[in-house]
């Protein structure tokens, strides 16, 4: 499989697309425009060459020129997939929809269109695309898993209590230092080092405060006492940074057992589906080595990320002798 798709509009061209996608015959019976594959061939070859060399804009232009002569499924799909990867979702949707007007569209086009619909929040349309895949290709395991993912997202509930709790927590962290009972000396020391809120204070350690000029033990003890009275402590806001430090150490360990050229392989050089690639981008992972430092839990915590994408990532890592980090 190559690409997934998502759409978030409720009318216009999407309304037409949703009708034609789920019928067994093309929407229109008009005579198609005569094709000229011979005239399209040089433009198509140029487009493929540009794409292989990373000149995406030039590839798009050449693909469009090829389509002026021959709107073949392969060319439509190649351009749609490229536009999808470039983030031009609306243009990609147009092309995927054109492909899906056919009586029996390619499975990849249907799945990619479903993903784009899901990304735009049109979960109903995404599910219907995937169910059409199952109608046409009953044994397609990927479509079955994607349907489960979409249905799971549709049943997710909004938790107002959790939202309110997060809002209250942020409000507490934004409390100005001047609201706390600290001596003038302690407040002035904090002001000089640009610590103005409770959140700022929780993101520094005792050692860091001691390193500042004129920050003495008495002032630090006063601040620690104030925080302790509220069940807080210095450095508490940095505890999430421990995981990043651990990943760095884990990557260093991997370099002792795996080749650097494998660990340093750019993610862009690996053939991931769009959904998997977007998840990796959200984690700000740039190489296979950095990806191997992540856990299943981190990936599964990403919105709309399901077992299909997880299995895909694990498979790509395994193909390079790597695996996701296992929590101990």
Residue ranges per structural domain of the chain: 13-33+71-154, 162-238, 247-319
Contacts of 124 (CB under 8 A, 6+ apart): 154
Closest to 13 measured CA to CA, from 92, 128, 108: 92
Q: Which residue has the higher pLDDT, 233 or 44?
A: 44
The CATH number that domain 162-238 falls under is 1.10.150.20
Assess whether the region 162-238 and the region 247-319 belong to the same CATH fold.
yes
Q: Which residue has the tokens 């749609």?
A: 80
Contacts of 215 (CB under 8 A, 6+ apart): 189, 193, 209
Distance separating alpha carbons of residues 51 and 55, to the nearest angstrom:
6
What separation, in Å, do the N-terminal and C-terminal C-alpha atoms of the chain show? 33
Q: Which two tokens stand for residue 287?
A: 């190489």
- What is the tens place of the pLDDT at every residue in 221-276? 999 988 888 778 887 765 555 456 567 778 888 989 999 999 999 988 888 888 88
Compute and round to an integer the Cα radius of gyration of the chain. Answer: 27
Quick one: 247-319 is in which CATH superfamily? Answer: 5' to 3' exonuclease, C-terminal subdomain (1.10.150.20)
Closest to 57 measured CA to CA, from 73, 67, 68, 46: 46
Closest to 219 measured CA to CA, from 232, 231, 234: 234
Closest to 72 measured CA to CA, from 106, 103, 37, 46: 37
Q: For residue 165, what are the CA distances in angstroms to 201, 202, 229, 320?
A: 21, 19, 21, 43
- Position 99 pLDDT exceeds 50: yes
Average pLDDT, the chain: 77
Question: Is 13-33+71-154 a CATH 1.25.40.10 domain?
Answer: yes
- Position 4 pLDDT exceeds 50: no
Averaged pLDDT for residues 140-161: 65
Asked whether the CA dihedral 277, 283, 289, 292 is positive or negative, the reply is negative
Distance separating alpha carbons of residues 157 and 196, to the nearest angstrom:
37
Phi, psi dihedrals of residue 160, rounded to the nearest 5°: -65, -30
Q: Residue 169 has what pLDDT?
A: 67
Q: Which two tokens stand for residue 302?
A: 């990403």
- Position 38 pLDDT exceeds 50: yes
- What is the tens place of the pLDDT at every residue in 277-325? 888 887 778 899 999 988 776 677 676 778 888 899 999 999 999 999 8
Q: What is the pTM of this model?
A: 0.42
């Amino acid at each position: 499989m190559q690409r997934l798709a998502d759409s978030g509009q409720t009318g216009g061209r999407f309304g037409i697309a949703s009708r034609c996608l789920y019928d067994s015959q093309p929407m229109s019976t008009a005579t198609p425009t005569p094709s000229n594959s011979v005239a399209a061939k040089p433009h198509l070859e140029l487009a493929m060459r540009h794409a292989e060399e990373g000149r995406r804009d030039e590839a798009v232009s050449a693909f469009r020129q090829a389509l002026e002569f021959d709107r073949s499924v392969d060319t439509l799909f190649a351009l749609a997939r490229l536009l999808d990867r470039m983030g031009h979702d609306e243009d990609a949707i147009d092309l995927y929809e054109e492909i899906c007007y056919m009586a029996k569209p390619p499975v990849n086009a249907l799945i990619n269109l479903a993903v784009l619909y899901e990304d735009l929040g049109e979960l109903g349309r995404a599910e219907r695309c995937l169910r059409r895949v199952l109608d046409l290709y009953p044994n397609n395991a990927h479509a079955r898993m994607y349907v489960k993912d979409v249905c799971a997202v549709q049943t997710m509930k909004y938790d107002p209590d959790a939202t309110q709790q997060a809002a209250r927590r942020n409000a507490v962290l934004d409390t100005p230092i001047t609201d706390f009972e600290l001596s003038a000396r302690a407040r002035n020391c904090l002001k000089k080092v640009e610590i103005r809120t409770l959140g700022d204070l929780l993101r520094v350690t005792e050692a860091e405060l001691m390193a500042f000029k004129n920050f003495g033990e008495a002032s630090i003890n006063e601040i620690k006492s104030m925080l302790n009275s509220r069940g807080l402590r210095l450095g508490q806001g940095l505890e999430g940074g421990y995981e990043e430090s651990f990943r760095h150490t884990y990557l260093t360990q991997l370099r002792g057992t795996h080749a650097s050229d494998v660990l340093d392989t750019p993610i862009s050089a690996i053939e991931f589906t769009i959904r998997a690639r977007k998840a990796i981008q959200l984690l700000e992972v740039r190489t296979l080595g950095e990806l191997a430092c992540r856990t299943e839990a981190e990936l599964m915590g990403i919105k709309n990320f399901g077992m299909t994408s997880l299995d895909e990532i694990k498979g790509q890592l395994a193909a390079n002798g790597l695996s996701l980090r296992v929590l101990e």
